[in-house]
Amino acid sequence: MTKCGRFGPNDFDYDPARIRQCVLESLERLQTTYLDAVYLHDVEFVASQVAPKLVGNHTAALGADAAAYGLAEVDANNVRGEGDQKILDAIAELKKMKQEGIIKNIGITGIAVVPFKLKVYSQYSGYPLPTLLRLAILVKNTSLEPLDLILSYSHLTLQNSAFNTFAPHFYERAKVKQLLAGSPLSMGLLTSKPPSWHPAPDALRAVAVDAFEIAPDLPNLALGYTARQTTTKTPLVVGLSNVTEVHECVKVWREVHENRCGEGRLQQEKAVTQLFEKSQYLDWSWQSP
């Protein structure tokens, strides 16, 4: 599995030749003749921008504000500019490589934390659900073949579970074959030490801190909340830094899927989500890009 299309903090190149080169280099590095999945990375940074607002709750994109987000039925095959076309051209090249047997599945995706010039740079991307949905529908309607995979992150968490609202539209309107949910801790927002680069505003960070008064073990509570809603139909992608975190993750997964979490966990989940709702940050998305 690999990603392609972004090569540095501000280096995006969706040219088909570069996309092919990137995939072939990954084959060499991974010492394999094919890849199970290749994701086109950071599509919202390249796509033509279509949205009435950049932050906030975007679920209205599925209803009253659909036209403003480019999600009206008449927009299903509307290529809105150079950015959209670059994405379609890159996907077309990946589909050629799929036909050649080099790639098994093609998708679009989000977060990765990688070192650029000895500094850790976070690629928080593949994030705005309306943009991902618009592009998935566009790919399906212009190429007559839907995307195999979409990995969404930080949208199935205690703070923001908009993924659940959008998921049926990805499956029904865009015919995406597989959704994955990533980052149940919202890139560290729901931990005691969110990273300095986290894009959440200070007010949202403050609410996350207050949540620890309700749930002292907030990370495990948040992981359990997401794990309970993700099954083999929607795999959960979790970032793990050490062996202890691996064991904690497996422990929580087993507890919630074997129904051993108890009413106490559910009551804490409800209290934390109510805290975010009271602060108007429930299902609230930050800006990306």
Q: CB–CB of 207/275 below 8 Å?
A: yes
pLDDT above 80 (res 252): yes
Look up residue 61 and give its two tokens.
Answer: 């994109």
More confident residue, 239 or 100: 100
* Contacts by residues 252-258 (CB-CB < 8 Å, ≥ 24 positions apart): 252/220, 252/223, 252/224, 252/227, 253/223, 253/227, 255/224, 256/224, 256/227, 256/228, 257/227, 257/228
Q: What is the domain partition of the chain in residue ranges?
A: 2-278
Ranges of beta strands (E only) in 178-217 are 178-182
* Residue entry with tokens 């070192």: 115
The per-residue pLDDT for 288 is: 85
Question: Binning pLDDT at 50, 70 and 90, where does residue 10 land?
Answer: confident
* 11-12 and 6-8 beta bridge pairing: antiparallel
Closest residue by Cα to residue 240 from 163, 161, 182: 182
Kindly report, residue by residue over 90-137, the tens digit of the pLDDT: 999 999 999 999 999 999 986 544 433 333 334 444 689 999 999 999
152 HSE (CA, 13 A, CB side): 28
The C-alpha atoms of residue 126 and residue 87 are separated, in whole angstroms, by 13
Partners of 6 in the β-ladder: 12
Backbone dihedral angles phi then psi of residue 118, each to the nearest 5 degrees: 70, 10
Kindly report, residue by residue over 218-237, the tens digit of the pLDDT: 999 999 999 988 876 888 99
The per-residue pLDDT for 119 is: 39
Partners of 4 in the β-ladder: 40
CB-based burial of residue 117 (10 Å sphere; 0-12 exposed, 13-18 middle, 19+ buried)? exposed
The C-alpha atoms of residue 183 and residue 173 are separated, in whole angstroms, by 25
Question: Binning pLDDT at 50, 70 and 90, where does residue 289 land?
Answer: confident
Q: CB–CB of 255/224 below 8 Å?
A: yes
Options 3.20.20.100, 3.40.50.2300, 3.40.190.10, 3.40.50.720; CATH for 2-278 is: 3.20.20.100
Q: Is 71 helix (H, G, I), strand (E, B) or coil?
A: coil
Average pLDDT over all residues of the chain: 91
For the entire predicted model, the pTM comes to 0.92
Mean pLDDT over 69-88 rounds to: 96
Q: Which residues contact 78 (CB under 8 A, 6 or more apart)?
A: 70, 138
Q: CB–CB of 70/110 below 8 Å?
A: no
Q: What percent of the chain has pLDDT over 90?
A: 81
Look up residue 97 and give its two tokens.
Answer: 């490589």
pLDDT above 80 (res 152): yes
Q: How far does CA 206 lie from the centroid of its chain?
A: 23
